[in-house]
Amino acid sequence: MIQLDGMSFSVDEVVAIAYGRDQVSIAPSALERMSISRRFVEEAMLSTQPVYALNTGVGLLANIALGHAEIEEMQINLVRSHCCGVGEPLAREVVRGLMAIRANVLAKGVSGIRPVIAERICDLLNCGVTPVIPSRGSVGASGDLAPLAHMALALIGEGDAEYEGKVRPASECLVLAGLEPLQLQAKEGISLLNGTQAMLSIGCLQLKEIETLFVAAQTSAAITMEALRGTPVPFDARLHKVRPHPGQLHSAEHMRSLLADSPIPRTQGVNRKIQDAYCLRCIPQVHGAAWDTLREARRVFEIELNSATDNPLVFEEDILSGGNFHGAPLALNLDYLAIAICQIAGISERRTERLLNPTLNEGLPAFLASAPGIESGLMIAQVTAAGLYAEMRVLATPASTGSLPTSGNQEDFVSMGMTSALKLEQSVKLARMIVAIELMAATRALDFREESETTPVLQEAIRRFREYVPAWSKDCVLSTRMTGAEKFIASGSLNNIEVQASVAA
């Protein structure tokens, strides 16, 4: 059971809840803070002083005062009117991540809502009720309004939700789960809508996918090094100690570990290879820069996971209007991640080309075909990788530079963070397939070498890979093997490869 306290939520915990590996509750300390915050709101309702979204309209309508009898109606109207999402529904795990993050943000205790609101979100998570949330319609300020409105709609028993594998009216799902619909009170509608949780949920889930992809790219690169008889000199610790970017140091150390005690001979003396092409020689510099981007994104995401992104926020002395809902910190890092994985995928595609090209592959058969000419081998797999990479380059164009004004020019500079998140989601899938194609080529290339034995770690990696993608001897339909290779990478089977190999040894 993960307790949400508004202070210590992590990316890994988001992922665990999103995939149903943990249940969730609100920490007692957070319940107390929410109760105190709620009392401040109730006191403010007795005043005639205007408070944004409590006794006023929202956006450009903030100058319109509301009568006391209109306050609760306005909160429900906010939820209904903001349900403007379109497009395919967000994946179930994205919605669950969004819900968990929203509950944690409310648990911080500065949103002025009753504790039951956050508790009911946890109830839906634990009972398996997942609101149906369309994927399009957010500009990332004031947060992810439309996606969060669709979540809130299910809480009040309207709209659709998924329960036990079937999409039904949310009211029916609540009955089946033994839950009552919420009756929203003052401030609670706006507190459910304002925030960055949709883009952040996607960001957290994709960050974990990219971390897994990074390990696969490193492992695939190491097998390629073995197949091409590449020199391990560029991974020497002395080189990286004098340019100590953390990611570069990490990548180089990992490559040394993967290639340690390789039995594959490298040419010596006058025939010794002086240096390899950049796609082999510069692995630590390129992969390492991507790794540093991942670390920075994780840092930013974990700050945001425990940040109040509502507006207004409720403090003991004041209820303050601000802009904590603005998605700029996330939008930038989501765009950075798309650029980083474009680097990983691009250098992987170049290694695939080098494995297949008979003028570059150190004596391997052309396109790794058993009988070049009669067979084409992996020729078109590389074409596919090139096509995917071209698409990735388009997706790496930042969305965060494309603000458009909204809400009568009151909300005149927005983050477009949800667009950044959605395109990152697509880009990760493409990058995974590009690395999968390299892994197919690298393992096949090694099979052609007389000395096909490699390091214990890489031998174990290849053994696991062959459970998904059996070796083949002649031309065959490669798309099924490519899909198998992509599934292998997504499985995370390589994440603990060095530990397992050392145990086996």
Q: Name, in order, each residue with C-beta under 8 angstroms of 444's C-beta and a sequence gap of 6 or more.
A: 368, 378, 471, 472
Cα separation, 209 vs 426, whole angstroms: 12
DSSP string, 434-464: HHHHHHHHHHHHHHHSSS----HHHHHHHHH
Cα separation, 183 vs 146, whole angstroms: 20
Q: Spell 422-454 as b/e; 16+ CB within 10 A means b.
A: bbbbebbebbbbbbbbbbbbbbbbbeebeeeeb
3-state secondary structure of 150: helix
Q: Name, in order, each residue with C-beta under 8 angstroms of 83's C-beta and a sequence gap of 6 or more.
A: 146, 149, 150, 153, 159
Question: Which amino acid is located at 151 in the chain?
Answer: M
Give the pair of three-digit tokens for residue 236.
Answer: 């020497």
Q: Spell 167-180 as b/e; 16+ CB within 10 A means b.
A: ebebbebbebbebe
Cα separation, 259 vs 241, whole angstroms: 19
324 closest CA partner among 306, 304, 310: 310
Distances from the Cα of 384 to the Cα of 372, 375, 387, angstroms:
19, 18, 5
Give the pair of three-digit tokens for residue 133.
Answer: 């949330």
φ/ψ of residue 182, rounded to 5: -80, 145
Give the pair of three-digit tokens for residue 65.
Answer: 């005062």
Please report where in the chains the tokens 């697509």 appear, as a residue.
426
Cα separation, 428 vs 420, whole angstroms: 12
Cα separation, 83 vs 73, whole angstroms: 16
Please report where in the chains the tokens 């300020």 appear, as a residue.
141
Give the pair of three-digit tokens for residue 307.
Answer: 């940040």
Q: Name, in order, each residue with C-beta under 8 angstroms of 5's C-beta and a sequence gap of 6 or more.
A: 26, 27, 29, 30, 104, 107
Q: Spell 252-288 as b/e; 16+ CB within 10 A means b.
A: bebbbbbbeebebeeeeeeeeeeebeebbbbbbbbbb
List residues bridging with 166 in a β-sheet.
Answer: 163
Cβ atoms of 203 and 94 within 8 Å: the answer is no
Q: Which residues are catalytic?
A: 52
